[in-house]
Amino acid sequence: MCGIVGILGTKPVALDLVDALRRLEYRGYDSAGIATIEGGLLQRRRAEGKLRNLSDRLSTEPLAGLVGIGHTRWATHGKPTERNAHPHMTEKVSVVHNGIIENFRELKEELTRAGAVFASDTDTEVVAHLITHEMKKGADPIAATKAALARLKGAFALAIIFAGHDNLMIGAREGSPLAIGHGDGEMFLGSDAIALAPFTSQITYLDEGDWVVLTRGSLDIRDRQGRRVDRPMITSQASGFLVDKGNHRHFMLKEIHEQPEVISHTLTNYIDMSEGRVNFPDIGLELAKITRVTISACGTAYYAGLVAKYWIEKYARVPVEIDVASELRYREAPLPEGGLAVFVSQSGETADTLATLRYCKANGQRIASVVNVRTSTIARESHAVLPTLAGPEIGVASTKAFTCQLSTLACLALALARAKGQISDDKERELVRALTEVPRHISSLLRDERRYEELAHYLSKARDVLYLGRGISYPIALEGALKLKEISYIHAEGYAAGELKHGPIALIDENVPVVVVAPEDELFDKTVSNMQEVHARGGQIILVSNVEPDATGCSVVAHLRMPAVHPFVVPLIYAIPMQLMAYHTATFMGTDVDQPRNLAKSVTVE
Give pLDDT, residue 244. Answer: 56
- At 555-599, the pLDDT tens digits run 899 999 999 999 999 999 999 999 999 999 999 999 999 888 877
Tell me, what's the pLDDT at 77? 66
pLDDT on residue 203:
92
When pLDDT is averaged across residues 408-419 and rounded to a whole number, the result is 97
Question: Above 50 in pLDDT, residue 241?
Answer: no
* pLDDT score recorded for residue 28: 65
160 contacts 35 by C-beta, under 8 angstroms: no
Task: Say what percent of the chain tops pLDDT 90.
Answer: 67
CATH code, residues 3-240: 3.60.20.10
What pTM was computed for the model? Answer: 0.79
Question: Would residue 404 show up in a list of annotated catalytic residues for this protein?
Answer: no
The CATH class for the domain spanning 448-591 reads: alpha beta
Q: Which of 352, 348, 417, 426 is nearest to 381 (CA)?
A: 348
Name the catalytic one among 50, 108, 146, 601: 601
Q: For residue 240, is pLDDT > 50?
A: no
Buried b (16+ CB within 10 A) or exposed e, 232-258: eeeebebbeeeeeeeeeebbbbbbbbb
**Average pLDDT of the residues in 191-211:** 88
Prior bond of 260 cis (ω within 30°): no
Axis crossing angle, helix 438-445 with helix 259-270, rounded to the nearest 10: 170
CATH 3.40.50.10490 describes domain 251-446: yes
Using CA atoms in the order 114, 115, 120, 121, what is the torsion angle rounded to 10 degrees?
Answer: 40
What is the predicted pLDDT for the residue at 242? 45
- Mean pLDDT for the chain overall: 91
Comparing 235-244, 311-320, 587-596, the range with the smallest average pLDDT is 235-244
Tell me what pLDDT residue 1 has. Answer: 53
Rg (CA), the chain: 25
Query: What is the three-state SS of 288-342?
Result: HHCCCEEEEECHHHHHHHHHHHHHHHHHHCCCEEEEEHHHHHHHCCCCCCCCEEE
Domain ranges for the chain, please list them.
3-240, 251-446, 448-591
Q: Which amino acid is at 478?
A: L
Which pLDDT band, with edges at 50, 70 and 90, does 27 fall under? low
What does the pLDDT average to over 219-231?
93
Query: Among 240, 196, 253, which residue's Cα sits nearest to residue 5?
Result: 196
251-446 and 448-591 in the same fold? yes
pLDDT on residue 160 = 98
The DSSP annotation for 34-76 comes to EEEEETTEEEEEEEESSHHHHHHHHHHS----SEEEEEEE--S
Q: What is the pLDDT of residues 440-485, one digit of tens each?
A: 899 889 888 999 999 999 999 999 999 999 999 999 999 999 999 9
Would you tell me how many other CB atoms lie within 10 Å of the CB of residue 284?
Answer: 10
Given a cut of 80, whether residue 163 has pLDDT beyond it is yes
Examine the pLDDT at 601 and tell me if it is beyond 70: no
Q: Is 2 a catalytic residue?
A: yes
Report CA-CA distances (Å) from 305 to 342, 365, 438. 9, 17, 19
* Contact of 64 with 122, CB cutoff 8 Å: no
Query: Residues 262-275: pLDDT tens digits?
Result: 898 888 889 887 68
Go through the chain and tell me how many residues it has: 606
Instruction: Examine the pLDDT at 68 and tell me if it is beyond 90.
Output: yes
543, 549 Cβ separation under 8 angstroms: yes
Asked which of 208-222, 235-249, 364-378, 383-397 is least confident by mean pLDDT, the reply is: 235-249
Residue of 2, 298, 404, 411 marked catalytic: 2
Expressed in angstroms, the distance from the first to the final Cα of the chain is 11
Q: Tell me how crowded residue 106 is: count the other CB atoms within 10 A of its CB.
A: 12
- Closest by CA position to 544, among listed 512, 490, 580: 580
